[in-house]
Structure 1
């Protein structure tokens, strides 16, 4: 089985099922995909990521997704790193960003909004509608918290005196939980 954009999206959704299984089921139906395809895509992506023969870093993403929609340089502290972004059909307003270290290793991979964060209200927090930067900008004092699994991320913030945790997978909003 070849591995392209569709399979990559399914591999991303496999991890998203951890936090929002219902949303992933809806997406599978929209794509005409099955749970078996989802599992197969995840298995194949994982095998490619750990294979000694598969391309690494940007080359792996380029092989699967084609040329990036954007390539540039980004400063992180005192280091300069490469950035590559791809547009994906299931998330047309976003891009999947890969941040690469000086040796070409993948430092981070997640969804971003080209052009910067969009203004949000609390009511706008709907699954798959926003990214980490959107919530960070919309709620002053938001704090970033490491997620509970690979590619998970959490942003803590307070709204009308109640603390919340916005949960993300690959930087894409999945659900909102009251913080305890």
Structure 2
């Protein structure tokens, strides 16, 4: 086993944060998560412990505010880039970090004055090629981000997910026969996890 997890040894902050991302994805795609953990040489228990500690940090002192840029930099270190980003009528900045598990993606946090991260998820890295999304068959787990699915199949309607860091998108896309199908895609940390035909009563 990797020396990262020897007794009294803590994994690096960026690795711990990748484990936090994986824990939220485990409910949807346990097989993909197991493969990622093997690639990282990390036991599943360590992933769950990393997630528990992250949640503990966010809830410390009965805190009710969303995560701040300090929470992310505490694990991820200095961002790879900081870019001005409009957010409604507020001035904001997009902080981006590399995530080695997904080299074509970046973890991006939109930070408003005061340091609060009003949105944080995975996006396509600058210069990286986006997937070609033409039919439902192209929507495989971990293949696309929220923005990519929304742009490929407009108009798309965003919906809140069933828990933190999950997101849903309603849209129409052609099936294998070219027939339009109403669908709902589910994302964890902005990365596609699965889709299904939309339930109008949902």
Pair in the same fold by TM > 0.5: yes
- What is the Cα-based RMSD across aligned positions, in Å? 1.8
For the pair 1:60 / 2:60, whether they are aligned, the reply is no
- Counterpart residue number, 2:83: 72
Q: Which residue of 2 aligns with 1:83?
A: 94
TM-score by length of 2: 0.81
Report the alpha carbon displacement of residue 35 of structure 1 after superposing the two structures with TM: 1.2
2:180 corresponds to which of 161, 165, 170: 161
Q: How many residues align?
A: 177
What does 1:1-16 align with in structure 2 at a 5 Å threshold?
1=10, 4-16=13-25
Kindly indicate which of the two structures has a greater share of residues assigned to strand: 1
Larger Rg: 2
Q: Could you tell me which of 185, 191, 194 is aligned with 1:175?
A: 194
SS state at 2:34 partner: helix
TM-score, scaled to structure 1? 0.90
1-structure distance, mates of 2:117, 2:11: 23
Unaligned runs of 5+ in 1: none
SS in 1 for 2:103: strand
8 Å CA contact 2:70, 2:115 repeated in 1? no
Distance in 1 (CA, whole Å) between partners of 2:84 and 2:197 is 37
| Deviations 1:112-144, CA, capped at 9 Å, x for gaps | 113488342223212112100000110021111
Q: Which range moved further: 108-117 or 122-131?
A: 108-117
Residue 31 of structure 2 corresponds to 22
Give the C-alpha shift of residue 33 in structure 1: 1.4
